[in-house]
Amino acid sequence: MVVDGSGRSFLPDVGTSSPNAARLYDLLLGGKNSFEVDRQLHAELLKVAPEIPNLVRENRRWLGRMIETMVRDAGIDQFLDLGCGLPTTDNTHEIVQRLNPQATVVYVDNDPTVVTHGLALLADERTVHFVDADLTDPATVLADPVVAKVLDLSRPVGVLQGLVLHHIPGQARARKAVDGYLSAMAPGSHLAMTHPINPRDGGRLAEFATAVEDALRPAVSPIAFRTPAEVAALAEGLELLPPGLTTIADSCPTGDQSAKPTGVTRLVMAVLARK
């Protein structure tokens, strides 16, 4: 039995008969919250793209740098992490609270495995909260009693959408899952977004992206790798902060070229934007 942030108790439905996207992602990060069906898909994915673990690690490093930028440079002290996934090392609240122990973080996910672990991990936290909700419904998420109580939307909020929007088919639905949050928030709010791409131009990256999509489909269905232009459209109307919309491989905010990732990380685009 699990108790959520509103004091409600429930028994989560953690399926083990088919692979799970959150558990697969945890495996790629070196975690152990998985079942045999997840490990089988993990092995198949590594045959197609053996460097995929590097991609997910670089994705988390990039998000971590953007969180630090939002706290240090923009003074943001409240965060909404949408589609947060399973707890791992350097979670959003750990990065934030190293810089500002009083900052507030709200995690949102509706995967039963994630809900179970998230609520258990945060049971004793006072400034960190978990909400069981569908990120594709911004109005419902923002109206949730926990969100409405702990986030002050009259002040800037840092919104995180790391490798989640490819779960949403249809450009209009994905755009709603971005704009539905930022439009309700104060000027100065930031969005840190990463999204896998498929140029669909017949080139080597397109072939590789298609192979990865096909391999992921058993755990991530539907799946929607977008073209770079489609990813750019998701952040339309926001002010793109340096270095703009680029692949993780080309994004090096610290200026340390030796730290710049390469190869498979060209499969993911990243952007930090401001309302």
- pLDDT tens digits for range 152-184: 999 999 999 999 999 999 999 999 999 999 999
Quick one: what percent of the chain has pLDDT higher than 90? 68
Q: Which helix (H) or strand (E) holds 28?
A: helix 21-28
User: With bands split at pLDDT 50, 70 and 90, how would you rate the model's confidence at 252?
Assistant: low
Whether 123 shows a pLDDT value over 70: the answer reads no
Q: Identify whether the C-beta of residue 80 lies closer than 8 Å to the C-beta of residue 151.
A: yes
**What is the enclosing helix (H) or strand (E) of 98?**
helix 92-99
Contact 70, 42 (CB under 8 A): no
List, for residues 217-237, the tens digit of each pLDDT value.
988 888 999 999 999 999 999
Q: How confident is the model at residue 12 (pLDDT cuts 50, 70, 90)?
A: very low
Give the mean model confidence (pLDDT) for residues 2-19: 50
Q: How far is CA 103 from the centre of its chain?
A: 19
Q: Which residues contact 152 (CB under 8 A, 6 or more apart)?
A: 78
Three-class SS of residue 82? strand
> Taking the C-alpha atoms of 173, 179, 185 and 190 in order, what is their torsion angle to the nearest 10 degrees?
120
Mean per-residue pLDDT over the chain, rounded:
88
Lowest-pLDDT choice from 167-181, 185-199, 251-265: 251-265
Q: How far apart are the C-alpha atoms of 104 and 181, rounded to whole Å?
A: 17
Residue 272 has pLDDT above 50, yes or no: yes
As a whole number of angstroms, the distance between CA 192 and CA 190 comes to 7
Q: State the pTM of this model.
A: 0.89
Amino acid symbol at 128 = V
Tell me if 85 sits within 8 A of 25, measured CB to CB: yes
